[in-house]
């Protein structure tokens, strides 16, 4: 991970993939056997794909679903969490699911908490079990009573993922992301 002077952690694509597989191994070793991996788009996409691939390689039988969540506008936190694309989710889930929620970072916890609340609100029957997996966790920012069950790194710094450009200055983009393209 490359750190620059502006208190950001710059995660490379290779680091994210490696952390995703490490996260998958932690989940497998824990003995938790999810029936569904629920990936929070966009941040959890790469991580969710890697974990799903690893679990299928290890002969797990599981569903893989994506819903879109947004709690940031550029780099500013929004007051509410927007959740889209969940309409087919409830029909796909069976009774007593073991749901692994995957995202890139657990910051305030509001996004994951909102997703769990939405699922519970629409699924009054059954006794679903939820586990949360993220490569990055900011424990001091957590505003909820939930926390990730599986994570790799703890930090208080701003984490910049490989696909992100919005939170970077032009110099950071040139030096850490698109050097070869922009020169």
Sketch the domain layout of the chain as residue ranges.
Answer: 7-182
pLDDT of residue 103 exceeding 60, the answer is: yes
Q: What is the pTM of this model?
A: 0.89
pLDDT band at 4 (very low <50, low <70, confident <90, very high): very low
Long-range contacts of 146-152 (CB under 8 A, 24+ apart): 146/109, 146/112, 146/113, 146/116, 147/106, 147/109, 148/106, 149/30, 149/32, 150/23, 150/26, 150/27, 150/30, 151/23, 151/106, 152/19, 152/22, 152/23, 152/26
Write down the pLDDT at residue 163.
Answer: 86
What CATH class is the domain 7-182?
alpha beta
Read off the pLDDT of residues 56-91 as tens digits, 9 standing for 90 and up: 999 999 999 999 998 765 555 666 888 888 877 877
């Amino acid at each position: 991970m490359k750190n620059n002077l502006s208190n950001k952690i710059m995660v490379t694509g290779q680091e994210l993939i490696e952390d995703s597989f490490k996260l998958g191994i932690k989940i497998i070793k824990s003995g938790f056997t999810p029936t569904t991996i629920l990936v929070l788009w966009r941040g959890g996409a790469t991580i969710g794909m890697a974990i799903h691939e690893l679990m299928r390689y290890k002969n797990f039988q599981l569903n893989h679903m994506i819903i879109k969540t947004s709690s940031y506008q550029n780099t500013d936190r929004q007051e509410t969490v927007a959740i889209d694309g969940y309409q087919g989710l409830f029909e796909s889930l069976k009774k007593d699911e073991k749901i692994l929620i995957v995202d890139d970072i657990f910051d305030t916890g509001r996004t994951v908490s909102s997703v769990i609340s939405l699922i519970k609100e629409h699924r009054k029957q059954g006794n679903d079990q939820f586990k949360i997996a993220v490569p990055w966790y900011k424990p001091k920012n957590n505003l909820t009573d939930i926390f990730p069950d599986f994570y790799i790194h703890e930090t208080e710094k701003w984490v910049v993922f490989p696909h992100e450009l919005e939170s970077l200055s032009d110099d950071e983009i040139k030096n850490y992301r698109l050097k070869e393209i922009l020169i």
